Amino acid sequence: MTLEELLANAWVRGLVASVLVLTGILVVAAWATWVERRVAGRLQNRIGPNRVGWFGLLQPIADALKLLRKEVLVPDRADRGLFLLAPGLLLFFAMAAIAVVPWGPGLVAADLDIGLLWVLAMSGMMLVPTWIAGWSSNNKYSLVAGMRAAAQGISYEVPLLLSALVPVMLAGSFNLSDIAEAQARDGWYAIWPPGIGLAAFVIYFTTSLAEANRIPFDIPEAESELVAGVSTEYTGIAFGLFQMTEYIHTWLSSAVATLLFLGGWHGPFLGDSWWAGLIWMVLKTSVLFVSIMLLRWSLVRLRADQLMRFCWVWLVPISLGLVAATAIWIQVAQGGR
C-alpha cells in the first residue's frame, strides 16, 4: 500500500490531519505566550524572558515542565469531578473550533459546510466549562467570575454572530474556505463593501476580544478585583490549560477574523500554492494577534455593567443595522444573486 492509498482512507486522513492541527496549535499557543511576554516587555520598558535558550525561546517548554511537575490541588469543598472536568472541557471546545479553520487552500482538517457556525458554536460552548470552573471551585471570587463570564459570553455572542453574518451574506456560504475564496473575487470584506465591511470587521474584532476574555473585556479574569477569576483555585497543569486555552482562543479569533474579513490565505505575492497560502494566513493572523496584545497592554478594564451596556446599547443595534445594510448592498450594488 503506497502512501497515497493510505491517505485516501478517510480514517487515516482524519487522524493525520487532527494530529497535525493539534500539534500545530499547541506549538502556536506555547510560543504565543513567549511572544506576548516579549511584546509586553518591550512595551513596558523591560526585557521579558530571555534566559532559557536563545532569546528565551525555550521558556514555554520550561513553563510547561514546571506546571506539569506541580501538584493539581483540589480544594476541600470543591466539586471534585466538575472541578477537574472544566479545564479539559475548555481545551476540548477550543480544539474542536480550530479543527474547521483552513490554513491555506485545502489545508483544513474538517472542511465543514457550516464551518463558521461550528466555530461560533464551539467558542460559545467554552462558556460552559468556564462557568463550571467558577461554580465548582466553591470560591466566592470564582463564583462571581463564573457568573460574569456567563453573562458576558451570552451577550457578546449576539453581535459576534451578527457581524460574522456580513461576510456570510456577501460570500453566500458558511464554509470558511468558500468565504476566503470569495474574497479573491470580491476583494477583502473589511474594505469592500465600503464602510459596512470595515464596521463589521471592527465589531467582530471587538466582540471576539470579549469572547476570548482579553482586556478591556476580561472581567471574568479581573485579577485586580477577583484575584484570578475562575482559575483562582487551579494549580499546576490544570491552571496551565486555562492559560493555554486563552491563547488558543485568541489565535482562533484572529484566524477567523482573517478568513472572514482580510482575504484569508490570499496575498499579492508568492502565488497560489498551499505553502504561500499558509504563509499569508499565519502572517495576517499574527498581525491581528499582536495587535490584540498591544491593546491588552495599553488599555484598562471596563466594569461589568459598562461592558453589558456597551454590548446591548451599541454593538447589537449597529451590527443589526449592518446586516440590513449588507442585504441592501447585495440587492442594489450587486443586483441580487
Partner 1 sequence: MTHAVFDALNPPPVADVHLDLESYDADADLMVLNLGPQHPSTHGVFRVKLVLDGEVIVKAVPYPGYLHRGVEKLLEKLTYAQQTPIVDKNDYLSPMINEQVLNMAFEAGLGIEVPRRARWLRTILAELQRLASHLVAIGTFVMDVGGSIGGGASMFMYTFRDRELILDLFEDLTGGRFHYNTHQVGGNRHDVPVGWDVSIRAACDQIERSLDEWDVMTVKNGVFRDRTIGVGVLSRDLALQLGASGPIMRASGIDLDLRRDAPYHLYDELDVQVATGTGGDCFTRYRLRAVECRESIRLIRILLEDVPEGPLCSLKPSKGPTAVKIKDGQWYVAVEGPRGEIGTYLIAGGNKGMSPYRLKIRPPSLHALATVPYLLPGHTLSDAVAILGSLDPIMGEVDR
The pattern of x and - marking residues 42 through 71 that bind partner 1 according to CB under 8 A reads -xxxx-------------------------
| Residue 48 vs 102, nearer CB to partner 1 | 48
Q: Does 299 bind partner 1 (CB under 8 A)?
A: yes
Number of residues that bind partner 1 (CB under 8 A): 30
Stretch that binds partner 1, among 158-166, 264-272, 293-301, 311-319 (CB under 8 A): 293-301
Q: In the complex, what is the shortest distance from the CB of residue 219 to partner 1, in angstroms, rounded to a whole number?
A: 7
Binds partner 1 (CB under 8 A): choice among 116, 144, 203, 257:
144
Stretch that binds partner 1, among 82-90, 99-107, 140-148, 324-332 (CB under 8 A): 140-148
| Residue 181 vs 218, nearer CB to partner 1 | 218
Sequence-ordered list of residues with C-beta below 8 angstroms from that of 241, at least 6 positions apart, any chain: 87, 88, 90, 91
Closest among 312, 311, 301, 127 to 219, alpha carbons compared: 301
Give dist(CA 312, CA 332) in Å, integer. Answer: 29
CB-side exposure of 112: number of CA atoms within 13 Å?
14
Confirm if 222 and 270 have CB atoms less than 8 A apart: no
| Residue 152 vs 175, nearer CB to partner 1 | 152
| Residue 284 vs 296, nearer CB to partner 1 | 296
Binds partner 1 (CB under 8 A): choice among 74, 118, 296, 311:
296
Report 190-249 residues binding partner 1 (CB under 8 A): 215-216, 218-219, 222-227
Give dist(CA 136, CA 189) in Å, integer. Answer: 42
DSSP 45-94: TS--S-SSSGGGTTHHHHHHHHHHHS-----TTS-HHHHHHHHHHHHHHH
Report 5-44 residues binding partner 1 (CB under 8 A): 40, 43-44
Give dist(CA 298, CA 110) in Å, integer. Answer: 37
Stretch that binds partner 1, among 130-138, 153-161, 165-173, 304-312 (CB under 8 A): 304-312
Alpha-carbon distance values, 325 to 94, 170, 178 (Å): 32, 11, 22
Closest among 244, 253, 167, 163 to 210, alpha carbons compared: 253
| Residues near partner 1 (CB under 8 A) | 40, 43-46, 140-141, 144, 148, 215-216, 218-219, 222-227, 296-306
